[in-house]
Amino acid sequence: MHELSLVHALFDQADRAVLPHGPERVRRVEVAIGALAGVEVDLFRTAFEIARVERGYRSAELTIERVPAEHACSVCGARPLAGAPLACPCGGRVALTRGGDLILKRIELEVPDV
C-alpha cells in the first residue's frame, strides 16, 4: 500500500517536529491532502491507524483536510476551467497551483505544566 509509506514519511516528519517531546504526547495530526496528490484518503486513514501505535503515536487523532485542485497560467495567472487544455490563450503554460500535495499542517501536543 502506497499510503502506508506516505504515513511513515509523515511520522518521520512529525518525529522531528515534536522534538524534544516524544510522539506519545501528540494528540492530533492534521494533514491536507490535495485532490491530485495521488492519495486515497480512506487508505491513508487506514494506514495511519496501522502505523500509529508502531510509531509511538498512541493518542494521536488524524484530521484530514481535502484540498481541491486549482490550476493557473504561470504567465498571466488566468484560471482555466476544469478539464481545460494545458496552454493558456496568452501562450503561457497552465500549471497546478494547489491540490497536488500531501502536507503536514499541524501537530497538537499535550505538554504537562512545569
Residue 96: CB minimum distance to Zn ion, A: 15
Which position among 50, 72, 78, 109 is part of the footprint of Zn ion (CB under 5 A)? 78
Rule CB under 5 A: say whether 71 interacts with Zn ion: no
Omega within 30 of 0 (cis) for the link into 20: yes
Q: Beta strands 26-34 and 94-98: pairing type?
A: unpaired
Q: Determine if 109 is a binding residue for Zn ion (CB under 5 A).
A: no
In the complex, minimum distance from the CB of residue 69 to Zn ion, in angstroms, rounded to a whole number:
18
Distance CA 28, CA 62 (A): 6
* Chain CA centroid to CA 76, Å: 28
Site for Zn ion, rule CB under 5 A: 73, 75-76, 78, 88, 90, 92
